[in-house]
Structure 1
């Protein structure tokens, strides 16, 4: 296997579109790879940090092999030490493009629930940028057999949240918790396809539960960073090869952006029409009580200013597109002579338009076009 192809993206996108339209959108299962570009370290990087800070402690408790195991190393730290280790990464991580793309997929209805091994709140914050607020559940604090109450749009933290009561990261904790989340895994496979991304599945107590509960009722896609999956993932995919797929070389940012673009939901309005996005966000806001306060109408004033800015923004964005098409007459019509940002484009458009008029005038022996060309200067 090698890096994922455009055809594979198209196939996945087609399945996601079909499932959305049938009322059974995909679920996502995400791991640390989705947060890597937010500067949240992977397990191997945390192991290295533990070795540097707590070398004597782990050498006394673990054999050579265990010293490179994330869960085993975490088992040698106290709860407070673990929180201190992780807090600097979890307190205020940057929002990366993988999670913005996931939020776009949720917003467009292609993804329902996101089940994550990650402690961070990046996805919730990415969703809020888009004016989306899915329900959030912490299964480390309250795992349950009954999953019917879980909202259709939801973020489910399997091992806890950075702000929550419990962060499950030692071998003992994750193994004990694996059975607690079995009902959720079973329900996840029941009616919807699953896309796995950023999750290695190796040396993990949850992976055997996934392998046992997957009954081929729906399709499963596994997007991995490695070109070739490790043995456990390869065996799982091969066992279910008729309805499962492995995509290699998947950098989370790149892959999810490509997928969202294929589904025509990227970039989200925040980036393609920021002023329109803000105007839409203001729609639910009640009227400002300016008469009672003897004040200006803050809401109406803001909406008017945003609408003006939106119009200017759309013009500024349209001009380069028209120049690339060679539609010089339209560039001239849209440009504002008083706007210094438009002057270079306007001068170039007049020059190119004059050339077009001269060429057309000579070809058609039309004196009016030649005269019009001189008016461009």
Structure 2
């Protein structure tokens, strides 16, 4: 995103050509005073391509060129629209864990609403807290799944990395109270796919964790190198006597192994693609319909769904050993998968 914003601003304000590299665009912006140089000392050379701190560029872009809410909403909406609604395995698995009551609360700083999409795919419509201002909706011991979008969603995203924003989040009573109560009642707190760069969010988590030093806290790090753990994340983990750091964990791979350990297999959206339609039709069919035309349309939809399910069952009835073996492996049933493969080799 930092590279994308750099190209856009450089083309718009400095006349950079579309074929110029991200690094050249960055250096042009610094030279033109559109970005702060890495050092204010006179004569300090600009960083090489490998030395450019794109995280710092990201922060500066929002401070200087995408400072309004309208600008950030337009940027993020464009990015999400370009993906065509793509959703990854990790978010589908996350939704499955929520649907099976293995996860009660999901906190995200992302604006893409993929966590929400994963839950909906699993048949869950959670309580949604769309920003710090609505944290009063959150229950520390929820009876219903809940999603906290700390920075808002694509429709209401608010970047909180300026000094005043950080202090506002850390001292706002509603935010402090919500995170403290969630930490108090959580059986485990697991961080996945997050670097812990936002000081406002991390200060809240660190302050809350200090009050409950027996909590199970786990940080799942993408990098294979523990030294890449951010200072904020290290402070967070240092507050507990339990938990630890997992390194070299891609989010999809992590959730794949987690669901194997829990013997859940593939997410329902993948393993039973008609399940969502069946849930919807069951609810629709339970409604009271007075008009004949509406009832006939519902009956027709149910017939189509039944035909699709029959066709799917017919295909699954065929002897597809690789699929059966893979399904057992995804469920963590390795011994059964091995015996089935061994039997097939003998045959």
TM-score by length of 1: 0.64
CA distance in 2, matches of 1:306, 1:83: 38
* Partner residue in 1 for 2:36: 62
Count of matched residue positions in the alignment of Structure 1 and Structure 2: 284
Question: Is 1:216 aligned with 2:213?
Answer: yes
CA distance in 2, matches of 1:295, 1:82: 43
Deviation sequence 1:318-355 (CA, Å, 0-9, x none): 32336999xxxxxxxxxxxxxxxxxxxxxxxxxx9xxx
Contact 2:141 2:185 in 1 (8 A): no
- Offset of residue 190 of structure 1: 0.6
* Partner residue in 1 for 2:162: 171
Instruction: Pick from 165, 188, 193 the counterpart of residue 198 of structure 1.
Output: 193
- Offset of residue 47 of structure 1: 6.4
* Partner residue in 2 for 1:373: none
- Offset of residue 146 of structure 1: 7.9
* Partner residue in 2 for 1:368: none
1:1-377 matches, cutoff 5 A: 41=1, 45=3, 48-49=6-7, 52=10, 55=29, 59-60=33-34, 62-64=36-38, 68=54, 69=56, 70-77=58-65, 78-79=67-68, 80-91=70-81, 93-144=85-136, 152-164=144-156, 166-172=157-163, 173-180=165-172, 181-192=175-186, 193-202=188-197, 204-214=199-209, 215-227=212-224, 228=226, 229-230=228-229, 232=231, 235-236=234-235, 239-240=238-239, 242-286=241-285, 292-293=291-292, 297-321=296-320
Contact 1:195 1:220 in 2 (8 A): yes
* Partner residue in 1 for 2:337: none
CA distance in 2, matches of 1:266, 1:252: 16
Contact 1:140 1:167 in 2 (8 A): no
CA distance in 1, matches of 2:161, 2:234: 26
Tell me which moved more, 249-258 or 47-56: 47-56
Tell me which moved more, 67-76 or 221-230: 67-76
Q: Which runs of 5+ in 2 are unaligned?
A: 14-28, 41-52, 325-343
Contact 2:30 2:37 in 1 (8 A): no
Q: Name which structure has the greater RCO, CA cutoff 8 Å, separation 6+.
A: 1
> Residue 239 and residue 109 in structure 1: after superposition, are their counterparts in 2 closer, same or farther (change >3 A)?
same
> Residue 120 and residue 296 in structure 1: after superposition, are their counterparts in 2 closer, same or farther (change >3 A)?
closer
- Offset of residue 128 of structure 1: 1.9
* Partner residue in 2 for 1:21: none
CA distance in 2, matches of 1:149, 1:221: 20
CA distance in 1, matches of 2:73, 2:238: 39
Contact 1:275 1:307 in 2 (8 A): no
Contact 2:221 2:229 in 1 (8 A): no
- Offset of residue 61 of structure 1: 6.0
CA RMSD of aligned residues (A): 3.6
Contact 2:151 2:160 in 1 (8 A): yes
Contact 1:237 1:246 in 2 (8 A): no
- Offset of residue 81 of structure 1: 3.4
CA distance in 2, matches of 1:146, 1:315: 45
SS at match of 2:104: strand
TM-score by length of 2: 0.68
